[in-house]
Structures are given as structure tokens and as C-alpha cells.
């Protein structure tokens, strides 16, 4: 018979053995290294992902991950929020909650998890989410979730990101991919050089990679754009099926070819439509003329409506349906315009692109990823390619705006995909040239005549407002341009000037009001800078150790001329400023001649990447760009 102490020892031993079989690390928050807590609101304690590729249309993605939430700002990681569609479907979810010491407090199963559609601007989509919140906030605590997803196309298995959020560190993250040995997998690791183990076992091939101890990073609004901020792996398989169409994503050419095949023969027009195309374009003398006329037709007869159901998120409606219903999403409208141009004898291509006002990083030229959310049209020419944004009635053909400028696009051709770059709109295109004539009487009342020419984004934003025809909105815009205490708009005219590749707008605006002036018995104190273009800064103060990126380029020139009703002599004029650097310039010069005060100011900023050691000078430029009228004083003595 065993002594009780021996029984106890055996029990303990068996318990330890059992614990030893648990290969997940303990979730005691005290064991998190200090280096992983720095700048972190949450820590990925472990993330184990297994991707099993049975075939190009049958993929199982299994993921088990655990977050320790350190404080309230990390709470979002405590919630399960798995989005899915009919093509990648979350089939099973479970979860557990642990306290600070790693003791399990609660567990949930699939039936406890809510499933609901997601509010979206699309008229129809199949986007849903599985959602759960433990409603527990005794920090630190840990949540662990296991999620199984059934994916119907390798199209969605294009990348794996080991660390995907700011202020969140990673203790350990493993990835294992199992796939048929007759398939080829190309991968590329980013921001890590950990070894990748590839093996073959019979008919199966395996890839394993593990990363450890990724520290948290903070959001940097001026960081140089990169495809991935931290460790990630790009993946591409040579065999792919999407919407019943077989292809590959091994190269960009393959990617484009897949899209071409998925969408081919959807550019067939009805006989009536073909007739209409010829009626509109047969008399056009140039390709540009045909593009403009067909764009106007599309503008007057179609509109943007988003419908993203199943493979419809990547496969367009046919052109005939678009003209029949009068609506379509970006790919449908682009396809329809392409079809009409084809009928008119103009070659054009759909171009996949990522639309956003912040330009995304340039894509890796070797390994494709699903980096697109939009489609535009490209009409290659011998000299200048014409780009067309088919979803916007406001953008003239040939101009893309900051939504899709300065980034990669993938042309979808019958020979495959071709990676190209869209035009850049910088300080040469985004310009304002203003002449402001101010006539001031003895009590400070002014008549102000502004003659201004905008181009690029400045012109586009103004044209968008004029197009609404809503007087109150237009007036609001015009009032925002003048910095007077009590302006009154008297008259305003505008004219869009013909321009090839970006919009140009001329305006003449008259105001009356009171100057920013203080008139005493002896002197006139004037704040003369009344034409405002204040630029909000997103640049954090302080020093940098990494390069920074300026994403917006512009050039603004102001010439202000004040004429006075009484004789004055200058006692103090605004000091001249000359600040010229590789990233921009600010100059100001004031002079007084023939009883006129003249101020000429230029403000320019240039897009691009700049070294960390010039960052403080860049802050100085931003300081000039944000100058208030307060700072510029002119003092005159009455004669």
C-alpha cells in the first residue's frame, strides 16, 4: 500500500505531467518581459496559425491566439471581431478568459458568439462578423480565441502579418502552412530574417516559421509608407481558382491574368448601345475627344452603386446591364466605359488600385498581394497615358485626384497584369496664385478684390463645391478664404479653364468689410495677411531618428496690395522672411511705395522622403505655413 505522501507525490507528478502536455504558454501577466510592455497596451502572448490547403478551392485556416490586455487602451483586442463573407466563412469559434495570474475564469463556445451583418454603404454585400465581448476589465487579463475559417479560394491566402497593430507587442507567433506538394508556394519575409522551414512529407509540403519578441511600435503619422510596419510574410501560390476561373498569383502578370479571365467577355454592348457609341464618337477627331464625349454620356446616364456579393466583389456586372440599370460599382462602371471605348476603337484597360487620400506604399515588384480596393481606367497613349476615374462625375478625364495619385496600379490586360504607377500631383500641379487688392478708408473699412487661379487639388475642391449649386455652401467656402472680422461677399465669378491633365479654376471675388486694423489718433496698426490658407499640422514635435515622408505637395503665392485713403508713412513693416530648404520654402517680402503696401508671400511644400536630421527644420516650415494674421504687423504713422 502506498503511503499517503507517496500517493500525493504521484498525484502531483501526474498533474505536472498533464500540465507538461499543455503546449500553450501560461498566461500569467507577470511573466511578460519588460521589453514587450514598453509602449504596449496589449501583448500577443501566443498566436498559432495553421493553414491547410486541400486544394485551390478548399482551404482551412485555423488560428488560436491569446492577448493579454494591459490597460483600457488595449481593450479592443479583448473583443472577438471576426469578419467574413460567403467566400471565407468563420465556421467555428471558441474562447477563454483568464485573470492576471492566468487562471481561467470563463469559456465560450460557438453558440455564445453573436453573428450579424455589418452596416455598410453597399446596397448589397455578404459581409458579416462574429462578435463577442467578455465584458471584463480587471487589468491585466488575457483572452484566448480559437477560430476556424473555411476559405473557398487561395486568392485570400496572400499574406500573414505577425504583428498587425500599433502599441501591441508579440511574444510568439507561429505559422504553419500545409499544401499539396505539386503546388508551388512563393513567399517573402518582411522585417524579420527568422529561418523558414520547408519540408515535404509524401504528397504534402509544409512551411513553418516562428517569430518571437516583437516589441510594440507607436503610430507615426509621418513614417515613410511601407507595405508592412512589422514582421509579415507575403505568400503566393501558383494554382488558384476564383469564381470558377483557374489561374495563379505567382507574379503580377499572373494576378492580372486571373482578373482578366474572371472578367472577360463582360464588355459586350447591345446593338443600341453600339449605335449610340458611334453616334457620339464617329465625328471626334482625337482619342481625347472620344474619351470626353463617352465620359459625359456615362456621367449623364449612370451612377455609382456598390454591390459586392460573393465573387461579385471581384467580377464585374456586364456592360449591357450597367447601361440598362443605370448603375454599377467601380469595376462595373470602368468596364462599361472600357466597352464603349473599345467600340469606338480606343484601347483601354481596367486598372486595379488602392484608393485612399493617403498614398499607400509602393508594392513589392516580385510578390503580389491583394492590395486593391478600387478600379479605374487607363488609356495608354504614345505620349501621355490618360487615366479616368469612372465613379466620379466631378473629376475630368485625365485627372485622378489625391484619391488614386502617386501609387501602383495593376493594368489588367489579355497578356496578364502590368504594374504601373499613376501620375503624381505635387507642388507643380497643386497651386494657388492670388492677387488681392485692398482699398482701405480712414476708419478701416475695406473693399477687397481677389483674383485667384487654383490648379490641381485646390481647383478640384472648389469645383466640387460649385457643382453642388448650393449657394449657402459656396458662400461658406468663399468666406473661409478671407480673414476679415466681418466680411460681406459682394460678388463672385468662376471659370474652369481648359486643361489637359489637371483642373484649373479662375475666380474673381469681391468682399467688403473691416480690416484687421486698430486706428488711433496717431497710428494705424494693420494686420495685412487676409488671404488665408491655414494648413493643419499632423507633425509631432520633438526629434526623430527615422526618415519622414511628406505626402502632400503644393505651392501658394499671394500678392497683397493695400491702398490707403489717407497719407501714411511706414513705421514698421513685416520683417522679410526667407526660408528655403529641400522640402519646401516660405518667403515674405513687404514694401511700401507710392502710398501702397505690397506684400508678396510664397509657401511651398515638396513631396518626398527626407532624413531625420532635417525634421526640426520641417517643423519650422510648418510653423510659417500656420502663421496667424497676428504675427504680421504693419504700423503706419499718419501724415
Within 208-237, which residues bind another protein (CB under 8 A)? 219, 221
By CB under 8 A, what part of segment 380-419 binds another protein? Answer: 393
3-state secondary structure of 389: coil
Q: In the bound complex, what is the minimum distance in angstroms from residue 517's beta carbon to another protein?
A: 8
User: Which part of the chain contacts another protein (CB under 8 A), choosing from 232-240, 411-419, 432-440, 462-470?
Assistant: 462-470
Burial 22-40 (b: 16+ CB within 10 A, else e): eeeeebbbeebeeebbeeb
User: In which element (H, E) is residue 264 found?
Assistant: none
- For residue 371, give the nearest of 404, 325, 343, 328 by alpha carbon: 404
**DSSP E strand boundaries for 20-103:** 42-55, 58-69, 80-84, 88-98
Q: Cα–Cα distances in Å, from 416 out to 188, 254, 411, 556? A: 22, 6, 8, 42
Which residue from 162, 190, 156 is spatially nearest to 85, judged by alpha carbons? 156
> Minimal distance in Å, beta carbon 521 to another protein?
9
Other Cβ atoms closer than 10 A to 573: 20
520 binds another protein per the rule CB under 8 A: yes
By rule CB under 8 A, what string of x and - marks binding of each residue 483-502 to another protein? x-xxxxx-------------
Q: Is 471 in the site for another protein (CB under 8 A)?
A: yes
CB of 118 to another protein, least distance (A): 8
CB closer to another protein, 78 vs 175 = 78
Among 76, 96, 191, 303, binds another protein (CB under 8 A): 303
Contacts 24+ apart (CB under 8 A), 383-387: 384/500, 384/501, 386/287, 386/288, 386/291, 387/351, 387/422, 387/423
Q: Which residue has the cell 503580389?
A: 368
CB of 471 to another protein, least distance (A): 6
In contact, 256 and 417? CB cutoff 8 Å: yes
Q: Toward another protein, which CB reaches closer, 183 or 577? A: 577
Q: By CB under 8 A, which span of 134-142, 277-285, 329-337, 603-611 interacts with another protein? A: 134-142
Bond into 443 cis (ω within 30): no
DSSP secondary structure string for all residues of 207-243: EEEEEEEEPP----TTBPP-S-SS-EEEEEES-EEET
Closest distance to another protein from the beta carbon of 448 (Å): 15
Per-residue HEC secondary structure of 572-611 comes to ECCCCEEEEECCEEEEEEEEEECCEEEEEEEEEECCEEEC
| Three-state secondary structure of 299-359 | HHHCEECCEECHHHHCCCCCHHHHHHHCEECHHHHHHHHHHHHHHCCCCCEEEEECCCCCC
DSSP 8-class letter at 4: H
Taking the complex as a whole, how short is the minimal distance between the CB of residue 162 and another protein, in angstroms? 25
Query: Does residue 55 bind another protein (CB under 8 A)?
Result: no
Shortest Å distance, C-beta 520 to another protein: 5
Segment interacting with another protein, rule: CB under 8 A, options 186-194, 268-276, 343-351, 626-634? 626-634
Q: How many residues bind another protein (CB under 8 A)?
A: 73
Nearer to another protein, 177 or 322 (CB): 322
Work out whether 541 is an interface residue with another protein (CB under 8 A). Answer: yes
How far is residue 106 from each of residues 141, 415, 567, measured CA to CA in Å? Answer: 12, 56, 84
CB 466 within 8 A of CB 503: no
Query: Interior CA angle at 254 toward 249 and 260, to 5°?
Result: 110
- Residue among 103 and 468 whose Cβ is closer to another protein: 468
Question: Cell 514598453 maps to which residue?
Answer: 38
Question: Rule CB under 8 A: is residue 535 a binding residue for another protein?
Answer: no
Q: Does 576 bind another protein (CB under 8 A)?
A: no
Contact positions with another protein (CB under 8 A) in 315-334 = 324-327
Binds another protein by CB under 8 A, chosen from 124, 424, 442, 497: 124
Cell of 617: 527644420
Stretch near another protein under the rule CB under 8 A, chosen from 49-57, 111-119, 223-231, 543-551 = 111-119
Please report whether residue 522 would count as binding another protein according to CB under 8 A.
yes
Our finding on whether 542 is near another protein (CB under 8 A) is yes
Binding mask 61-80 for another protein (x = CB under 8 A): -----------xx-x-----
The DSSP H or E segment spanning 458 is helix 457-468
d(CA 97, CA 104): 6
Nearer to another protein, 30 or 541 (CB): 541
We find the least distance from the C-beta atom of residue 121 to another protein, in angstroms, to be 9
Q: Which is nearer to another protein, 110 or 385 (CB)?
A: 110
Q: Which range binds another protein by CB under 8 A, 47-55, 84-92, 405-413, 481-489?
A: 481-489
Does the footprint of another protein cover residue 538 (CB under 8 A)? yes
Maximum C-alpha span of the chain: 120
Q: Which is nearer to another protein, 250 or 585 (CB)?
A: 585
In the complex, the smallest distance separating the C-beta of residue 594 from another protein, rounded to whole angstroms, is 24
Which segment (186-194, 251-259, 331-339, 616-624) binds another protein by CB under 8 A?
Answer: 616-624
Distance, in Å, from the CA atom of 402 to the CA atom of 391, rounded to the nearest integer, reads: 15
Residue from 217, 288, 627, 638 binding another protein (CB under 8 A) = 627
Q: Which is nearer to another protein, 295 or 327 (CB)?
A: 327
Binding mask 263-302 for another protein (x = CB under 8 A): -------------------------------------xxx
* Count of other CB atoms within 10 angstroms of residue 213: 11
Does 523 sit near another protein (CB under 8 A)? yes
619 is a contact residue toward another protein (CB under 8 A): yes
- Using the minimum distance from each CB to another protein, give the nearer residue, 43 or 232: 43
Nearest CA among 568, 590, 588 for reference residue 577: 588
The nearest distance, CB 469 to another protein, in angstroms, is 6
Between 62 and 579, name the residue whose CB sits nearer to another protein.
Answer: 579
Q: Which CB, 63 or 514, lies closer to another protein?
A: 514
Q: Report 82-101 residues binding another protein (CB under 8 A).
A: none
C-alpha cell at 478: 468663399
Instruction: Check residue 56 and report its DSSP letter.
Output: T
Residue 38, interface with another protein (CB under 8 A)?
A: no
Quote the cell numbers at residue 387.
487615366
C-alpha cell at 614: 532635417
Q: Which of 22, 138, 545, 594 binds another protein (CB under 8 A)?
A: 138
If one asks whether residue 592 binds another protein (CB under 8 A), the answer comes out as: no
Q: Which stretch binds another protein (CB under 8 A): 190-198, 424-432, 461-469, 502-510?
A: 461-469
Q: How far apart (Å, rounded) are the C-alpha atoms in residues 226 and 295?
A: 35
d(CA 292, CA 227): 35
Applying CB under 8 A, does 540 fall inside the site for another protein?
yes
Amino acid at each position: 500500500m502506498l503511503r499517503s505522501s507517496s500517493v500525493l507525490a504521484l498525484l502531483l507528478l501526474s498533474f505536472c505531467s498533464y500540465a507538461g502536455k499543455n503546449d500553450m504558454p501560461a498566461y500569467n501577466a507577470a511573466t511578460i518581459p519588460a521589453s514587450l510592455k514598453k509602449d504596449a497596451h496589449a501583448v500577443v502572448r501566443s498566436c498559432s496559425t495553421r493553414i491547410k490547403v486541400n486544394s485551390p478551392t478548399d482551404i482551412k485556416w485555423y488560428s488560436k491566439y491569446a492577448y493579454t490586455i494591459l490597460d483600457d487602451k488595449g481593450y479592443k483586442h479583448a473583443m472577438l471581431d471576426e469578419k467574413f463573407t460567403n467566400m471565407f466563412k468563420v465556421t467555428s469559434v471558441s474562447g477563454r478568459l483568464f485573470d492576471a495570474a492566468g487562471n481561467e475564469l470563463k469559456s465560450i463556445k460557438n453558440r455564445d458568439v453573436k453573428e450579424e451583418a455589418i452596416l455598410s454603404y453597399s446596397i448589397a454585400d455578404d459581409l458579416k462578423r462574429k462578435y463577442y465581448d467578455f465584458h471584463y476589465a480587471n487589468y491585466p487579463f488575457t483572452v484566448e480565441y480559437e477560430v476556424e475559417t473555411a476559405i473557398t479560394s487561395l486568392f485570400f491566402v496572400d499574406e500573414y502579418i505577425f504583428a498587425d497593430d500599433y502599441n501591441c507587442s508579440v511574444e510568439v507567433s507561429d505559422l504553419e502552412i500545409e499544401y499539396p506538394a505539386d503546388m508551388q508556394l512563393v513567399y517573402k519575409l518582411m522585417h524579420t530574417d527568422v529561418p523558414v522551414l520547408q519540408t515535404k512529407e509524401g504528397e504534402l509540403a509544409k512551411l513553418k516559421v516562428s517569430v518571437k519578441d516583437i516589441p510594440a511600435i507607436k503610430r507615426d503619422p509621418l513614417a515613410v509608407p511601407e507595405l508592412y510596419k512589422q514582421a509579415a510574410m507575403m505568400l503566393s501560390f501558383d494554382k488558384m481558382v476564383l469564381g470558377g476561373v483557374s489561374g495563379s498569383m505567382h507574379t503580377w502578370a499572373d494576378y492580372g491574368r486571373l482578373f482578366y479571365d474572371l472578367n472577360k467577355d463582360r464588355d459586350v454592348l447591345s446593338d443600341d448601345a453600339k449605335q449610340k457609341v458611334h453616334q457620339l464618337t464617329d465625328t471626334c477627331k482625337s482619342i481625347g475627344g472620344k474619351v470626353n464625349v463617352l465620359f459625359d454620356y456615362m456621367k449623364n446616364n449612370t451612377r455609382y452603386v456598390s454591390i459586392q456579393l460573393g465573387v461579385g466583389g471581384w467580377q464585374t456586372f456586364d456592360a449591357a446591364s450597367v447601361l440598362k440599370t443605370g448603375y454599377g460599382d467601380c469595376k462595373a462602371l470602368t468596364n462599361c466605359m472600357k466597352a464603349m471605348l473599345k467600340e469606338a476603337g480606343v484601347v483601354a484597360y481596367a486598372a486595379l488600385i488602392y484608393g485612399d487620400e493617403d498614398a499607400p506604399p509602393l508594392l513589392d515588384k516580385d510578390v503580389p498581394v491583394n492590395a486593391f480596393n478600387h478600379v479605374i481606367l487607363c488609356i495608354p497613349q504614345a505620349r501621355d497615358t490618360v487615366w479616368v476615374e469612372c465613379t466620379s462625375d466631378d473629376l475630368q478625364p485625365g485627372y485622378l485626384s489625391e484619391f488614386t495619385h502617386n501609387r501602383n496600379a495593376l493594368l489588367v490586360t489579355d497578356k496578364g497584369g502590368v504594374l504601373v504607377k499613376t501620375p503624381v500631383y505635387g507642388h507643380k500641379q497643386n497651386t494657388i496664385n492670388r492677387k488681392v487688392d485692398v482699398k482701405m478708408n480712414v476708419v478701416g473699412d475695406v473693399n477687397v478684390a481677389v483674383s485667384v487661379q487654383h490648379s490641381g487639388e485646390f481647383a478640384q475642391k472648389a469645383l466640387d463645391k460649385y457643382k453642388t449649386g448650393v449657394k449657402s455652401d459656396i458662400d461658406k467656402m468663399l468666406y473661409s478664404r478671407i480673414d476679415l472680422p466681418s466680411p460681406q461677399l459682394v460678388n463672385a465669378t468662376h471659370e474652369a479653364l481648359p486643361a489637359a491633365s489637371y483642373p484649373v479654376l479662375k475666380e474673381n471675388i469681391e468682399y467688403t468689410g473691416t480690416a484687421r486694423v486698430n486706428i488711433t489718433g496717431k497710428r494705424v496698426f494693420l494686420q495685412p495677411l487676409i488671404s488665408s490658407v491655414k494648413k493643419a499640422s499632423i507633425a509631432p514635435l520633438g526629434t526623430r531618428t527615422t526618415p519622414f515622408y511628406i505626402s502632400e505637395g503644393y505651392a501658394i503665392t499671394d500678392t497683397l496690395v493695400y491702398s490707403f485713403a489717407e497719407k501714411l508713412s511706414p513705421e514698421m513693416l513685416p520683417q522679410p522672411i526667407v526660408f528655403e530648404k529641400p522640402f519646401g520654402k516660405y518667403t515674405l517680402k513687404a514694401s511700401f511705395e507710392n502710398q501702397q503696401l505690397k506684400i508678396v508671400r510664397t509657401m511651398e511644400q515638396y513631396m518626398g522622403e527626407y532624413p531625420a536630421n532635417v525634421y526640426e527644420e520641417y517643423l519650422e516650415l510648418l510653423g510659417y505655413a500656420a502663421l496667424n494674421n497676428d504675427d504680421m504687423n504693419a504700423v503706419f504713422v499718419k501724415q
